[in-house]
Amino acid sequence: MPGEAGHILRLHLFHVLQTLSPHTAELDVGVPARGLHGEAYRGHVFWDELFVLPYLNLHFPEVSRALLHYRHRRLPQACRAAADAGRAGAMYPWQSGSDGREETQTFHLNPRSGRWLPDHSRLQHHVGSAVAYNVWQYCQASGDTDFLHTKGAEMLLQIARFWADTAVLDPDHGRYRIRGVVGPDEYHDGYPGAGRPGIDDNAYTNVTAAWVLDRALELARTLPEPRRRELFERVGLDRAEPELWEDVSRRLLVPFHRGVISQFDGYQELTELDWDGYRARYGDIRRLDRILESEGDSVNRYQVSKQADALMLGYLFAPAELAGLFRRLGYAMDDDIWRATVEYYLPRTSHGSTLSELVHGWVLVRARRAEAWRYCQEALLGDVADVQGGTTGEGIHLGAMGGTLDLVQRGLTGLETREEALWLDPVPLPEPSGLSEYRFAIRYRGHWGVALRVRAGRLWISVPDSEERPIEVRLADRSLTVAPGESHWLPLPSG
Amino acid sequence: MPGEAGHILRLHLFHVLQTLSPHTAELDVGVPARGLHGEAYRGHVFWDELFVLPYLNLHFPEVSRALLHYRHRRLPQACRAAADAGRAGAMYPWQSGSDGREETQTFHLNPRSGRWLPDHSRLQHHVGSAVAYNVWQYCQASGDTDFLHTKGAEMLLQIARFWADTAVLDPDHGRYRIRGVVGPDEYHDGYPGAGRPGIDDNAYTNVTAAWVLDRALELARTLPEPRRRELFERVGLDRAEPELWEDVSRRLLVPFHRGVISQFDGYQELTELDWDGYRARYGDIRRLDRILESEGDSVNRYQVSKQADALMLGYLFAPAELAGLFRRLGYAMDDDIWRATVEYYLPRTSHGSTLSELVHGWVLVRARRAEAWRYCQEALLGDVADVQGGTTGEGIHLGAMGGTLDLVQRGLTGLETREEALWLDPVPLPEPSGLSEYRFAIRYRGHWGVALRVRAGRLWISVPDSEERPIEVRLADRSLTVAPGESHWLPLPSG
């Protein structure tokens, strides 16, 4: 990428590879939110790998694999956590240190008010879906069925089990509900004045849980039979469980209001914030939670998000896959609803997390393809400045750095690895910047250096000669198979 | 296997899996000669994985992979050892502890004479070929090209490099020689009265070195081009090196005498031992080295082996592959020469190692197929008694235990995994034992539970349904492809 954005990309690449490379793959420390040197967050591991692995999968799959091993080593601990909570399967921790126990603080300080407040962010059980997503993405990009059928399967099935056991059928709705959780948006850890923590029917949590259950079913179908028998026996899975998964995966509740996806049940009943008033009064309002609490109010009362929540779905899934997920759940979620959802949450988000700008970048690149390059550059520039308000000095934000690399790589090219194929759907080149071509190379399913080049209206793909299997390629308007040793210029559909 | 042999097999299986299973795979301790609890050999790692991995490859490939990672983590140390010795590539240590340094003792005690003697066993550089062999075998059995093209390639190329740099062209012979080494037979660590340690042209060392070089060439040919370029650049390999490998791999010297393979150059000039006299005088003569030294003599003067050395080739390679290796080296080594070689060394071996009976079991099972079951049972029974003279109390012999499991599994069935195919050539069922059928299942290239059944004159193979690739099967008289979901009774050639 030309100009300042190019410099920033190199800076991000440096930091990502300094923390996550073949040289550090065996450290068994996961993807610490602040890299290996930042002191912030006490070195804890959150879900940042969700933003870093998609990049690594296409360049250093062995590093991705090692990072998934990190999660697999802590699977027994996650199963113990689920059992302690009275649930089946694996409940991965929101924050963890070396041994995989839940280490999220139960109180935190609001420096603005000087008060210690209860912290319910450990209810972010969606972190389990992030682990499952990474397992699947890694296996799709690398073709590593050995991992998928062994450690990958063990994680995926236990995470699916947790969701199936956590979802409760509500006869009034005829749908399953997941209640008492916190979504990616940490501003909302409960209903205003409620006696219990957590919110219900978080759209992000439920849609990703449905996806996890669907993948677990797909895996159970495609596992070689002797392995399936052995694994089901080992984890004590009876034949009835997949039937429950099937049912839950098709009937999880996703709330809507006024033609948009609701962040969670009841979100629309919350008060609208006087954004202009608060901006005028406080200037930087990225940490509205602290401001409101210091005023004796609570951010839980408002339609305000710290970071992308429902819109996170637009990061994990490209539009076609996302629409398919909703269809499977029995909801008609078309481009109009999605665009309206994006419009709805953009102005209601305070960007209190470095990941937020990144996710919005992804969403905009995909939803407004003609302007994609601009959004991509904005996401890059936004991250290098210390926008989130003062903690960059305590360590880099690894997720945001890896995520912007990936936004350039997969976002601009519409690259996806799913259904055993390589999907490509480049956004139009930026005009009139003068950039007439860009190129990069990836590792994909045993192929080293698959070369991709994008020019106006066409795409070059070159698969180096080898004894690996041909690559299935899906463009927006057709499919083809590219064998090792072949190169093609492919015309792209216009628009 | 019926009767006492069956009990012994289960005992061996217990010990192998207690030490080497998915639960211990991450200990990063390799295959310690005495398992995880024996104190003998100070817990050191030798080459015992050469006898254990072929069994694990077909049941727990992820454990094999972890054990190869153990060697890969110590590749830099092996390269440093080679550099310190003025050689290129990787010189793996004969005995090592945690950090992969050479830890072989430089003196040892003869308890019979009370004298401390120089110990040159660290010259057993053939351990590097064992590492390379395991890399190749694992990848052939598992189909793990990802490992082969990354860590596997790094090890294999560096080991090949070491051999190419160690071999010296001798203009008198027009062949390359490897001098000053010790073979598997530790009785011979030098020539009688010589001022330098080691012997020259050890047949086992040279043939396996040629095999390693040939595999490195095959790998260099089949590595995906971008990966080859990257790897060659990283290890500083220039284009001329593979040419040298080609030359050395075809012109290493293998000595012969009187129609048999010589254990090393000059072996035939050594004195014949008066075996009957020594047996009459000492009873147990398994440690002839100590007996002779205490008499002021040296075992280096005699045609006496502590354990299988030239015959080890018959363990690593089935007859057809072995003949091919010699052919490539320009030697006509037919069944007659091999049988004569077996006859020659059997009575000249004192079995001072527990691996020796095992290797002879393999050689006899393959060379005398009609009596294979008897030899197999003898190998099993021979190991459970403390034949080697008193050290079993200090720990199990893991190599011998894993090796006997493998002898039953691969030896009796003629199972090989090479050239991307599964080779099967069962020996005749034992008569008149009443055993009319036996069966087992293996993991092979992503297939779980490939079922094999042998009856008189026919073989059953059943490949469970899955999305993996079909299996290429080679019988003694034909080839076929078995797709997932297929089962076949296949007639076996008689004899």
Is the same domain home to B72 and B197?
yes
Other beta carbons less than 10 A from residue B123's beta carbon? 21
Please say if the pLDDT value at position A218 is more than 50: yes
| A408 DSSP 8-state letter | I
Contact A386, A38 (CB under 8 A): no
A163 vs B29, higher pLDDT:
A163
Question: pLDDT at position A42, please?
Answer: 82
Query: pTM of the full predicted structure?
Result: 0.91
Q: Which residues in chain B have their CB less than 8 angstroms from residue A149's CB?
A: 446, 448
Q: Which residues in chain B have their CB less than 8 angstroms from residue A141's CB?
A: none
CB–CB of A468 and B61 under 8 A?
A: no
β strands within B336-394, DSSP E: none
CB–CB of A26 and B73 under 8 A?
A: yes
State how far the Cα of A185 lies from the Cα of A304, in Å rounded to an integer: 9
State how far the Cα of A144 lies from the Cα of A417, in Å rounded to an integer: 13
Question: pLDDT at position A43, please?
Answer: 84
* Distances from the Cα of A197 to the Cα of A188, A295, A313, angstroms: 10, 21, 24
Contact A162, A89 (CB under 8 A): yes
State how far the Cα of B467 lies from the Cα of A222, in Å rounded to an integer: 7
Question: pLDDT at position A175, please?
Answer: 98
Is the same domain home to B8 and B70?
yes
A469, closest residue in chain B (CA to CA): B469
Amino acid present at A38: G
Question: pLDDT at position B388, please?
Answer: 47
CB–CB of A449 and B227 under 8 A?
A: yes
State how far the Cα of B414 lies from the Cα of B412, in Å rounded to an integer: 6
Other beta carbons less than 10 A from residue A44's beta carbon? 18
State how far the Cα of B199 lies from the Cα of B188, in Å rounded to an integer: 7
CB–CB of B449 and A26 under 8 A?
A: no
Please say if the pLDDT value at position B432 is more than 80: no
Question: pLDDT at position B398, please?
Answer: 87
CB–CB of B225 and A146 under 8 A?
A: no
Is the same domain home to B31 and B58?
yes
Is the same domain home to A339 and A456?
no
Residue from B150, B419, B466, B472 whose CB has the most chain A CBs within 10 Å, to mutate: B466
State how far the Cα of B4 lies from the Cα of B437, in Å rounded to an integer: 18
Query: Where does residue A460 fall: left (phi above 0), alpha (psi -120 to 50 degrees), or beta otherwise?
Result: beta
State how far the Cα of B231 lies from the Cα of B235, in Å rounded to an integer: 6
Gap from B228 CA to chain A (nearest CA, Å)? 9
Contact B193, B140 (CB under 8 A): no
Please say if the pLDDT value at position A388 is more than 50: no
Is the same domain home to A410 and A462?
no
Q: What are phi and psi of A116, to 5 degrees?
A: -90, 130
Residues A48-58, mean pLDDT to the nearest whole number: 96
The pLDDT tens digits of the residues spanning A231-266 come to: 999 999 988 899 999 999 999 999 999 999 999 999
Is the same domain home to A58 and A174?
yes
Please say if the pLDDT value at position B212 is more than 80: yes
Residue ranges of alpha helices (H) inside B223-346 are: 225-234, 240-251, 275-282, 288-294, 313-316, 319-328, 335-345
Strand, helix or coil for residue B393: helix
Question: pLDDT at position A40, please?
Answer: 78
B357 vs B96, higher pLDDT:
B96
Q: What are phi and psi of A199, to 5 degrees?
A: -115, 170
The CATH number of whichever domain residue B383 belongs to comes to: 1.50.10.10
B43 vs A213, higher pLDDT:
A213
Would you please indicate which residues of B are annotated as catalytic (active-site) residues?
186
Is the same domain home to B412 and B461?
no
The H or E element spanning position B11 is: helix B3-19
State how far the Cα of A253 lies from the Cα of B72, in Å rounded to an integer: 49
Single residue among A420, A455, A480 that ends a domain in this structure: A420
The CATH number of whichever domain residue B431 belongs to comes to: 2.60.420.10
Query: Where does residue A265 fall: left (phi above 0), alpha (psi -120 to 50 degrees), or beta otherwise?
Result: beta
Residues A288-316, mean pLDDT to the nearest whole number: 95
Q: Which residues in chain A have their CB less than 8 angstroms from residue B145's CB?
A: 446, 467-468
Is the same domain home to B265 and B376?
yes
Contact A241, A160 (CB under 8 A): no
Q: How does residue A433 score in pLDDT terms, banded at 50, 70 and 90?
A: low
Question: pLDDT at position A444, please?
Answer: 97
Q: What are phi and psi of B360, to 5 degrees?
A: -65, -35
Is the same domain home to A396 and A339?
yes
Prior bond of A432 cis (ω within 30°):
yes
Q: B149, B139, B141, B117: which is closest to B227 by C-alpha? A: B149
Sheet harboring A447-455: ordered strands across?
A437-444, A447-455, A458-462, A487-491
| A410 DSSP 8-state letter | I
Residue A370 tokens read as 């003609």
CB pairs under 8 A between A and B: 74
Question: pLDDT at position A2, please?
Answer: 64
| A307 DSSP 8-state letter | S
Strand, helix or coil for residue A60: coil
Strand, helix or coil for residue A407: helix
Query: b or e along A295-333 (b: 16 or more beta carbons within 10 Å of the residue's beta carbon)?
Result: eeebbbebbbbbbbbbbbbbbbbbbeebbebbeebeeeb
Q: How does residue B495 score in pLDDT terms, banded at 50, 70 and 90?
A: low
Domain that holds residue A153: 3-420
The pLDDT tens digits of the residues spanning B380-426 come to: 876 655 544 555 666 778 888 999 999 999 999 999 999 999 999 99
State how far the Cα of B351 lies from the Cα of A346, in Å rounded to an integer: 79
Torsion, Cα of B426, B432, B436, B441 (10° steps): -40
What helix, strand, coil percent values describe chain A, rounded to 5?
Answer: 50, 15, 40
Single residue among A379, A397, A420 that ends a domain in this structure: A420
Is the same domain home to A78 and A170?
yes
Contact A90, A161 (CB under 8 A): yes
The pLDDT tens digits of the residues spanning A60-76 come to: 999 999 999 999 999 99
State how far the Cα of B52 lies from the Cα of B402, in Å rounded to an integer: 5
Single residue among A404, A420, A436 that ends a domain in this structure: A420
Residue identified by tokens 């969606």 is A126
Amino acid present at A103: E
Amino acid present at B232: F
Report ipTM for this prediction: 0.84
Contact B349, B312 (CB under 8 A): no
CB–CB of A464 and B230 under 8 A?
A: no
Is the same domain home to A272 and A243?
yes
Is the same domain home to A190 and A318?
yes
Half-sphere exposure of B435 (CA within 13 A, CB side): 16
Other beta carbons less than 10 A from residue B165's beta carbon? 18
Please say if the pLDDT value at position B166 is more than 90: yes
Question: pLDDT at position A35, please?
Answer: 82
Residue B443 tokens read as 């993991």
Quote the number of domains for chain A. Answer: 2
Q: How does residue B2 score in pLDDT terms, banded at 50, 70 and 90?
A: low
Cα distance between the two ends of chain B: 22
State how far the Cα of B82 lies from the Cα of B89, in Å rounded to an integer: 6
A28, closest residue in chain B (CA to CA): B26
Query: b or e along B6-17 (b: 16 or more beta carbons within 10 Å of the residue's beta carbon)?
Result: eebbebbbebbb
